[in-house]
Structure 1
């Protein structure tokens, strides 16, 4: 079994975040009203976006894939995962959500999902207890030539074996780790075919070598995992060791919006406590999403002599060769023209070879520029340690407190850097996200040890944005 967690895009987090840890609230996100064919989601547009995202077709996912050069392993888009989603169990908050999901999956725009038979194993219509099982078995058949999605809010999560289920999507909040894993273990039952060729009674074809839990509220999921692991080893004084014992059998991978990373026991405890881990924090400052190297951005740099001089002062830039930006733009335009010609079937053999070589060269150079800019960006977090004033943005620290140190550490003046930021070479939205994650992680770590580092703090600074901290409501009764 593997647990894969996914950080949802900000546009979805914004409508359903809350609670003690300000985390993604699955019950709110999938809140629904109505019955039967009239059931509908309160946040229908956002749920539709989520359906698009998990099959890898959201516009934001396309942009991220182009920037990072990799496609994130979304459940219904990654070819390595798809075989294990032919028969999946979706665990939703309530009956209305199950019925609303079935209605949405069957709408005309969702042709991808029409390949799957959708069974609502929820509500009075599904029967009591095990009475909900026969329709599921009938829809699945032998499991070889069918695809199904079973929607439930509690039925069939205990005492039931459906060997074809290989994945469960956790789409509801669960407070009890035992309930969480009791449901998850429904997909762990073995599925094999004895003597598949009919000529060897000792032969066995394993149809399900692995199974998956997919969760879209990472902090909550990993808190459940840590509590469950600790509960399994009550005599173990070291919680990290207890969790490590569990994840040796249940590896955990977390997608943070740019990278999918395997998380160890220490990282799981960090995320459960602070919403992120040291490893994921570091990866945020090594992400291709921090920088923009598309042609439009490169043209803005090329057309600005001061900006061009600034990037040439970045460490290692000159090793890329003379006129590297102009070369990338020109070669990408050449490739575009050749591809258009190829589409019309007019390319000669020599031109086809030229197309391959030109495309390889400009992509390689663009990647090298991206790497140099990311290497520069990884030096910026050091400036978070230069002030104890959480209200200060990182820009304030750089420009007002230690501008000379910034030049020493990065090789650029503050003016150089600000110019590149204005030209959108650096993605300040992602930088804000990384700074807020760091400060949240640091404060939570200190709080865990009994230190309240900034008591009474009302605002917190990101990279270039200050946000207000929600204050707990006082009891006036």
Structure 2
């Protein structure tokens, strides 16, 4: 158990108090204005800006007549300095005065209203894009991503000219995907770029990047949904067009493409950028646009009605794309949270200012709530604490049956109130028995003074709109006066708006975020595609079931927040060195972390413990189990997960597409080997299929490839051919998927065989073929000789099968150990086709 002060020292640094301000004054000597018509524009982080002004009076031997001062914080939370104001004034045509030596001073020939207008433009982040004040270049990893992508594009074109090259950037939030992808397009001299995103709110990020950076001065910005923007576009000039799936998927009354979007489909784009590619709904709703409703296991350019030379996919959590093998290894660039934090730690100060220094370290803090709270919300086969039930809310209904959110209240209001008291240290989180056993109070969000001063702005993620409003009402009630210091913003429901509109109330509530406190409550809005720098913590108060959604939301609070020092030679002041994820369902939280760490790391040479260990090296986990709070290591984390609800994890491993191989090479091997064909046809799912299905797949695949390479020059014929290809592709994918599903169903019987056999020391292959062949036939329905033939031709992925068997063994061992049985301890453990030492099992899963 860690000492509380040790936890504070390591994980909760003191945050400096700063007050970024712009000031302006006229210079007088002996009552005379020595610079008529000129105004000095300066910057300070001191609470009283006059302290800085008085210093300059002494240095310059003048008397300053202050004409204005303003907070230097944008509504986004970003700070700006006098240099930003100077740049904006220069770009608006105001003269910056030089001294007798020809050096630029901080005096401008302008009026106070001009300075105020420039400051307000910076605060609102509007009307400054045309100034193009950004001129930064790519960081090392951004340059590497561009180089690897361009090389892959060239290699793919040489390998198969008929197929559009594609590439995936698996890059975390704040990698700079917008700038880097636009910079790559610029360096490739691509002039027609289309950005398609499922999240409308990312549009402003793309627009500001394009119009605010000097490298992109030749490009037009086109908002596909804005008719005036489209009408003003000159298609003969370079352009970057942005469209959302919601708009591009819209159909007319006859089911065709909207007239206003026809130009998008008739133009040949140089590059299509698919943003926010991790969304499940992304694929489901994209079917109509890209392959006439066929399965989206693979987004294939051959059936895409929008043509392009290249495709770039952007995502922070592309789990599905990786798991189904949608991209080859040399078609993926990875830049994860661990990569970023490793680069931050390894930076050599001799190379200059650390570009990663401001990126906060994220800390996951989990809390085991007392039974008095959890007993009303236990669900599932493992009787696990369910946050959705705990925070379930109800409302009165209007005459139309719609919920009246002003009446929202929690079903378990007393327990939720107790939870609010717990997180501020006013109610016990440990039971009387635990306290009698020496339990110590953990570091709590709104109790520990160091942490309290760090999390002035937080995001609370809940299950439903009703829950969001119920929480707002409870926080603002008379019994919770402590929380009245915080402005509560509900970013949920239709009333909150969508996209950027949902963000405006948050920014308005924050005003100058170094002086205010806010709690933003959401059930999904603002959890992707936006940056709110002052957010320093997220409360996970909903039962998110996927690691993609969990960490996409968590990384909302991991954006950097810095303020310039008074001295231009000093380093930036880091306002957010750490950020926090608070979770009150420990099993769920640690399971998500384990899946996330393993899911994005496809290196089969590394064990799950190694992958998790690498991840939590930079994302520490502090766990409170009812008696004390301590950091946990990878082994402890996996043990925690294994002793809780690992059945779902196990089931997913045995239902993975990675376990079986349905490539053309494998199918051809079946065709070439009659015994292999007989073996696979003996599996239950194949018995009702025609045995010539394998030839059909190969023949159809070859025919489609031939059609793609032919160009008749006749548009009518080519259009008809494309339609034929689309139909044939659809059928081909359906047949291949059926084979894959049959093999996966067969694979799911293997855990049952392992459960029924007591043999653990030998490899599963040996047990099947040599020890218990009769049992195997009874469980799976096929002969061992047939199974052996399937293994020989490569139907099963050995590395993935070893990992799946290891997961089963560990789960089995955990279950037995829980009951006091450990009869195999000290022996070797057999996996799929290898046997490992018992102590290696933990390291592998």
TM-score when normalising by structure 1:
0.57
In the alignment, which residue of structure 2 is the partner of 1:19? 380
Write out per-residue CA displacement over residues 317-355 of structure 1, whole angstroms, 9 at most, x where no aligned residue. xxxxxxxxxxxxxxxxxxxxxxxxxxxxxxxxxxxxxxx
In the alignment, which residue of structure 2 is the partner of 1:125? 495
Q: Flag structure 1 segments of 5+ consecutive residues without an equivalent.
A: 277-443, 458-477
- How far residue 33 of structure 1 moved from its aligned partner, in angstroms, is 1.0
Q: How does 1:26-37 map to 2 (within 5 A)?
A: 26-34=387-395, 35-37=404-406
In the alignment, which residue of structure 1 is the partner of 2:598? 230
Partner SS for 1:125: helix
Quick check: 2:441–2:628 contact (8 Å CA) kept in 1?
no
Quick check: 2:643–2:815 contact (8 Å CA) kept in 1?
no
In the alignment, which residue of structure 1 is the partner of 2:581? 213
2:626 matches 1:265:
no
In the alignment, which residue of structure 1 is the partner of 2:616? 247
Distance 2:370 2:504 in 1: 38
2:517 matches 1:150:
no
Larger % of strand: which?
Answer: 2
Distance 1:247 1:95 in 2: 33
- How far residue 2 of structure 1 moved from its aligned partner, in angstroms, is 0.3
Distance 1:26 1:74 in 2: 18
Q: How does 1:286-325 map to 2 (within 5 A)?
A: none
Quick check: 2:643–2:814 contact (8 Å CA) kept in 1?
no
- How far residue 22 of structure 1 moved from its aligned partner, in angstroms, is 1.7
- How far residue 21 of structure 1 moved from its aligned partner, in angstroms, is 2.5
Partner SS for 2:454: helix
Would the alpha carbon gap of residues 245 and 451 (structure 1) be closer, same or farther in structure 2, given more than 3 Å must change? closer
Quick check: 2:370–2:430 contact (8 Å CA) kept in 1?
no
Partner SS for 2:376: coil
- How far residue 66 of structure 1 moved from its aligned partner, in angstroms, is 8.9
Would the alpha carbon gap of residues 55 and 235 (structure 1) be closer, same or farther in structure 2, given more than 3 Å must change? same
After TM superposition, the structure 1 stretch with the greater mean CA deviation from structure 2, 444-453 or 17-26, is 444-453
In the alignment, which residue of structure 2 is the partner of 1:85? 455
Quick check: 1:447–1:453 contact (8 Å CA) kept in 2?
no
Partner SS for 1:212: strand
Distance 2:819 2:436 in 1: 43
Partner SS for 1:200: coil
Aligned residues: 289
- How far residue 105 of structure 1 moved from its aligned partner, in angstroms, is 0.5
Distance 1:60 1:25 in 2: 18
Q: Which has the larger radius of gyration?
A: 2
Would the alpha carbon gap of residues 454 and 257 (structure 1) be closer, same or farther in structure 2, given more than 3 Å must change? closer
2:536 matches 1:173:
no
Q: Flag structure 2 segments of 5+ consecutive residues without an equivalent.
A: 1-361, 396-403, 646-806, 821-845
Distance 1:270 1:43 in 2: 32
Write out per-residue CA displacement over residues 127-173 of structure 1, whole angstroms, 9 at most, x where no aligned residue. 01221001101111221111100000000011110000000000001
In the alignment, which residue of structure 2 is the partner of 1:106? 476
TM-score when normalising by structure 2:
0.33
Distance 1:66 1:84 in 2: 32
Write out per-residue CA displacement over residues 205-232 of structure 1, whole angstroms, 9 at most, x where no aligned residue. 1111100000000000000000000012
Would the alpha carbon gap of residues 6 and 59 (structure 1) be closer, same or farther in structure 2, given more than 3 Å must change? closer
Quick check: 1:65–1:72 contact (8 Å CA) kept in 2?
no
In the alignment, which residue of structure 2 is the partner of 1:448? 811
Q: How does 1:459-474 map to 2 (within 5 A)?
A: none
In the alignment, which residue of structure 2 is the partner of 1:115? 485
After TM superposition, the structure 1 stretch with the greater mean CA deviation from structure 2, 120-129 or 73-82, is 73-82
Write out per-residue CA displacement over residues 177-229 of structure 1, whole angstroms, 9 at most, x where no aligned residue. 0110000000000111012xx33354311111100000000000000000000
RMSD over aligned Cα atoms: 2.7
Distance 2:425 2:519 in 1: 18
Write out per-residue CA displacement over residues 36-94 of structure 1, whole angstroms, 9 at most, x where no aligned residue. 22001100010000000111111465967797484321111012211222100000001
Distance 1:140 1:217 in 2: 29
Distance 1:448 1:45 in 2: 37
Task: Give the one of 407, 415, 418 matched to 1:46.
Answer: 415
Would the alpha carbon gap of residues 240 and 451 (structure 1) be closer, same or farther in structure 2, given more than 3 Å must change? closer
Distance 1:86 1:275 in 2: 34
Partner SS for 1:119: strand
Would the alpha carbon gap of residues 178 and 259 (structure 1) be closer, same or farther in structure 2, given more than 3 Å must change? same
Distance 1:12 1:268 in 2: 24
Quick check: 1:194–1:201 contact (8 Å CA) kept in 2?
no
Larger % of helix: which?
Answer: 1
- How far residue 234 of structure 1 moved from its aligned partner, in angstroms, is 1.6
Would the alpha carbon gap of residues 446 and 53 (structure 1) be closer, same or farther in structure 2, given more than 3 Å must change? farther
Distance 1:66 1:76 in 2: 25
Q: Which structure exhibits the higher relative contact order, with contacts defined as CA atoms closer than 8 Å and separated by 6 or more residues?
A: 1
Distance 2:814 2:484 in 1: 53
Quick check: 1:65–1:71 contact (8 Å CA) kept in 2?
no
